[in-house]
Structures are given as C-alpha cells and as structure tokens.
Amino acid sequence: MEAYLDNAATTRVNESVKNIMVKALIEDYGNPSSLHVKGLEAERYIRNAREIIAKQLKVEEKEIIFTSGGTESNNLAIIGSALSNKRAGNHIIASSTEHPSVYNAMGYLKELGFDISYTPVDSYGRIDIEELEKLINENTILVSIMYVNNEIGSVNDINQIAKVIKEKNPSTLFHVDGIQAIGKYEIYPKRQGIDLLSISGHKIHGPKGVGALYVRDRVKVSPLLYGGGQESKMRSGTENVPGIAGLGQAISDIYENHTEKIETMYRLKQEFIDGINKLNETIGDVYVNGLVDDLRETAPHIVSVSFKGVLAEVLLHALEDKGIYVSSGSACSSNQPGISGTLKAIGLGQDLLSSTIRFSFSVNTSFEEIKYTLEELEKIVPILRRYQPH
C-alpha cells in the first residue's frame, strides 16, 4: 500500500487541471501577447483564470498578478512593496516562524538598510499580537505574517492582526503568505484588511511553477522583473499559459463543495491524532506539536509529531520503505542542514528538535492511508529507538 502524507509539500494534480493544461499546451499554444487568433486564444486562458481567482477572493481582476509560484509572490510582495514605499519609512515586521521565501527576503532587505523586526510566537506557533502592536511605529511600512504555518499547522488570527496594524498605523501595508491557507479557508482580502496575498498552485492540486499575488488597488509595488511589461507591468515575461490555466481550474475545483471537503479533512486529522495519542500510550514519548484544545483552531491538513529518540531523517526513510511519504519540515528547507526555526520558536525541547515529522493531508487522503501509517509507526519507531546512538 502507498500513503502519500506530504501534501503540504505538494499535491497531486487534478484530472481537470491536467486536461486544461494539455489543451493549452497542444492546441491553444499561441503567445498571449500575439495579436492573431492563436494569441487571443492563449490570452483567453489567462483572462478566465484571473476572473476565477478574483471572483473567489471577491476582489477586482486587475488586482491579481500571476507569478512563477509562492516564492516569487512572497518576494514581489515584500521586496517590491519595501522598495516602493521606502520614503515613508524603513521598518518592516515579520513573525519568527515565516517560510524561507519570506525570511530570506527580509534578510535581503536588511542588507539594503531596512530595519527588520520579528514578533515572537506562543507555544502553539501563533504570533503574539500584543508584541506585534508594540513593534509597530510611524516608520513601519510593512507587516508580513503567514496565515497557516507550513510546518505545524498553526493558524494566525489574520482579521485581528489586520485590525491592530491599521489602528496603530493606517499606512502600514499588511502582507499575508496564504500559500498553506488557500483552499483550506475562505479568504476575502478586502474584508479582512489584507493588502497583499500570496498563493501557489501546487498546494491545491494545481501545477508547480505558477502562483499569484493579490495587490490591493493603489498599493505601490516595484516589479522585480523588467521586460515586455506583462501583468500590468508588474511581472514581465511571457506568461505561463498552461500553468495559469491550471491554477484557475485548481481554485475552481478546490472551492466546489468546499465545506464538505474541509469537514472530511478535519475528520482525517482527528483520526490521525487519536491514533498518535494511542501510540504514545503504547510506545511512549510521542508528541503532537502546536495542537490547541479546539482542533478547528488549527489547519485541517497539517500535523507535526515528535518521536523522541528517533532522528527524523531516519524515520522518514524507514516510512518511505513502506510506501509512506512524509516530510521532516518545510519541503523548501528540509534538504538543508540545521534545525527548524519554527520548532525553536515554539520552545520545543532540544531532545525533540531533530525528531519531528510533518504529516499532511489533502482532499484525496483516505482513512485507509491513515490507518496504515499508524500501524507502521507502531512497528517502526521502537525498532529505530534501539539503534539510536547515545
């Protein structure tokens, strides 16, 4: 049996997404900037996708900019808005648990002379809103906070954060990394006080290499790429038409019968956590991270578990041998040496930092996969512990 439980890293493309992408690749393959009929056919895919996304977010179509993915969306939002608004101030705030595509963009801006502050999080991975309020001042031009943490599934109160930001400094822009939240939550930037929102295709059964950035009308953002002026001069380069078409289709698919899908995912998550708790009773020293009393206050698709006495990488490959696919953290940083900044930030014990696995589900995950994974964990973990070096 195979159990794919690494959906926070990437998801399997929907059949409907594949079909529209193949059509755009094989039949309607024109350059969307061309003036002939082939170009117009290609441009129609972009227009349709922009319409789908704008309608879902309840924003204007002109406020959607297509990118090469979540990393570019985050970089464009953060670096682009910082450079455009540096005359208003040079202070930027992020949380201490941001994704590398945010954290490293902040590092770049720091090298350029910007003043970067990081707000702490609680033991559940949620930012300390009172501390955030204290950090905001008249020079704060941008606050960037992730909606859902990609490693432990904690959820920030975006509405309250936006309220605090705008009350303290109405000119401060609010960027939300919504890459793990899109498709899991109904997100309405204008209602929620979000100025910039990043999304990615391959987290919601769309293709890799495509994403989008919502930029609220009249928010100034400097482009990172210069050329032919595509995407309202915000993102030059011939558009990835098949990818954009696939992203639009994926957004349409994921929000169809959305409530039922999310309910099923929460049932899967509860089933898995119940199984982990039983596993702890059986073999001991197994802990779920970032879990609050109400499961609904966490994301429906991510569970972080620490197995004391077992190296995460060793367990990952042992599970792989059984056809079970998981992650030892963010897929964008799990191949790099070092300990997760998120796990450090929530105060995880030193003995658990290198023993943590992320399990993540999707609308395609089955209860059989959950059961199989729990059964194999019960067999594998005690064996690995015997060989753990002391």
In this chain, the answer to whether the domains covering 3-10+258-386 and 15-254 adopt an identical fold is no
349 burial level (CB within 10 Å; 0-12, 13-18, 19+): exposed
Residue 356 belongs to what H/E stretch? Answer: strand 356-360
CA distance 77 to 175: 7
CA distance 72 to 78: 10
Residue 250 corresponds to which amino acid?
A
Q: Where are the domains of the chain?
A: 3-10+258-386, 15-254
Question: Helices 241-254 and 15-26, interaxial angle, to 10°?
Answer: 160
The yes or no reply on domain 15-254 and CATH 3.40.640.10 is: yes
Give the pLDDT score at 222: 95
Q: Are 286 and 307 in contact (CB under 8 A)?
A: yes
331 burial level (CB within 10 Å; 0-12, 13-18, 19+): middle
Note if 362 is an active site residue: no
Beta strands at 211-215 and 286-289: parallel, antiparallel or unpaired: unpaired
Look up residue 248 and give its DSSP letter.
H
Look up residue 348 and give its DSSP letter.
-
- Number of CB atoms found within 10 A of residue 112's CB: 11
Residue 159, both tokens = 């509405």
The tens digit of pLDDT for each residue in 157-170 reads: 999 999 999 999 99
CA distance 252 to 245: 11
Q: Which of 300, 339, 342 is nearest to 95 (CA)?
A: 342
Q: In a structure prediction context, what are the per-residue pLDDT tens digits for the chain, which is 390 residues long?
A: 999 999 999 999 999 999 999 999 999 999 998 899 988 999 999 999 999 999 999 999 999 999 999 999 999 999 999 999 999 999 999 999 999 999 999 999 999 999 999 999 999 999 999 999 999 999 999 999 999 999 999 999 999 999 999 999 999 999 999 999 999 999 999 999 999 999 999 999 999 999 999 999 999 999 989 999 898 888 989 899 999 999 999 999 999 999 999 999 999 999 999 999 999 999 999 999 998 889 999 999 999 999 999 999 999 999 999 999 999 864 454 444 456 788 988 988 888 989 999 999 999 999 999 999 999 999 999 999 988 655
| Ramachandran class of 116: left when φ > 0, alpha when ψ lies in -120 to 50, beta otherwise | beta
Residue 346, both tokens = 């929530």
3-state DSSP assignment of residue 211? strand
The dihedral through the CA atoms of 144, 148, 149, 151 has a sign that is negative
Report CA-CA distances (Å) from 242 to 72, 182, 237, 239, 387: 18, 20, 14, 9, 48
Q: Are 212 and 70 in contact (CB under 8 A)?
A: no
Beta strands at 173-177 and 140-146: parallel, antiparallel or unpaired: parallel
**What CATH number is given for 3-10+258-386 in this structure?**
3.90.1150.10
Residue 270, both tokens = 């509860």
One of 332, 353, 374, 384 is an active-site residue; which one?
A: 332
What global pTM score does this model have?
0.95
